Amino acid sequence: MNTNFKNQKKYSSGQSKYRSKGHSRGQGLVEYLIIVSIVAVGAIGIVKVISQNMRFHFTQIAESLGSHAPERPQKGEIRKTHFESKDFSNFWEGSK
């Protein structure tokens, strides 16, 4: 029977011997990266939907200032499907 308990660490009730404080810093970084990626994907989607309309409006502004664009972009149509909420019941409908 081994009675050498000097080298064993004592842990509080909520702390595991395999979890150290170094892992919590990595967890914060991962959570931050997930939030940044969600915001980036949302921003890309918004820009994709409104970019055609913005191009149309900037062309109108440029023409009113005296510019002559070789071709005039068409104003895009924003449909309800661009901004309605998705859940798992209609998730795959937007990919068709």
Domain spans of the chain? 35-62
Rg over alpha carbons for the chain, rounded to the nearest Å, is 28
Q: Which residues contact 63 (CB under 8 A, 6 or more apart)?
A: 69, 72
Please report which residue ranges of the chain form alpha helices under DSSP H.
21-64
Which tops the pLDDT comparison, 68 or 58? 58
Percent of the chain with pLDDT over 70: 51
Q: What is residue 33's three-state secondary structure?
A: helix
The closest of 48, 70, 73 to 59, measured between CA atoms, is 73
pLDDT digits (tens, 9 = 90+) for 17-45: 555 555 566 888 899 999 999 999 999 88
